[in-house]
Amino acid sequence: MTPCINLLKKANVSFQIHEYQHDPSVSSYGLEAAEKLGVSSERVFKTLVVSLDGKELVVAVVPVAERLNLKRLAKVSGAKKVEMANKAQVERVTGYVLGGVSPLGQKKRLRTFIDRSAETLTSMFVSAGRRGLDVELHPSDFKSLTEGQWAGLVLD
């Protein structure tokens, strides 16, 4: 069990666990998940940890095939300077290893911004807390559990 799965069970929301054989040589863990789970990449989301003004870490959840638009995240979060957090920071604050960072069950709850493309999906997939393990749940449950905010976050 991962902290993500424990949180989902405790919250008593409907979810499904999906496991696949992770290939350490792949360059995109998210696209690998979509391919191996046989689902559209629009339904599989990656968890990105971002530093705002060098003071606050936040989570951006975007489709695996898309790139995060840092300017849009800055605008929606009210930050002036936005940059990707470094690996050590991410792993220390979330309790997860890079490539297996779940937006759920992190050591420290971070403000979460979710790309609005998830809002209309019947279900979405996010990392369950380790490489090769995803959870599928309803976007409204995900938003509620993360206390997230919908926003347009991807590059056009």
For the chain, counts of helices (H) and of strands (E): 5, 8
Domain tally, the chain: 1
pLDDT higher at 156 or 105: 105
Predicted pLDDT at 117: 98
The predicted pLDDT at position 95 comes to 97
Reply yes or no on whether the pLDDT at 112 is more than 90: yes
For 62-102, how does the pLDDT look when each residue is reduced to its tens digit (9 = 90+)? 999 999 999 999 999 999 999 999 999 999 999 999 999 99
Share of the chain above pLDDT 70, in %: 100
Give the lowest-confidence range in 26-30, 126-130, 132-136, 143-147.
26-30
Residue 79 lies in a domain: yes
Answer whether residue 96 is part of any domain.
yes
Flag whether 78 is in a domain.
Answer: yes
Continuous H helices in 15-153: 29-37, 70-77, 87-94, 139-146
Q: What is the mean pLDDT of residues 13-26?
A: 95
Mean pLDDT over each residue of the chain, to the nearest integer: 96
39 φ/ψ angles, rounded to the nearest 5 degrees? -125, 155
Kindly report the CATH number assigned to the domain that includes residue 39: 3.90.960.10
Residue 44 predicted with pLDDT over 90:
yes
pTM: 0.96
Decide if 156 is inside a domain: no
Strands (E) located in the chain: 15-19, 45-52, 56-63, 82-84, 111-115, 124-130, 133-137, 149-151
Residue 19: domain span: 3-151
pLDDT at res. 79: 97
Q: Judge whether 46 lies within some domain.
A: yes
- For residue 156, pLDDT beyond 90: no
pLDDT, residue 92, reads 96
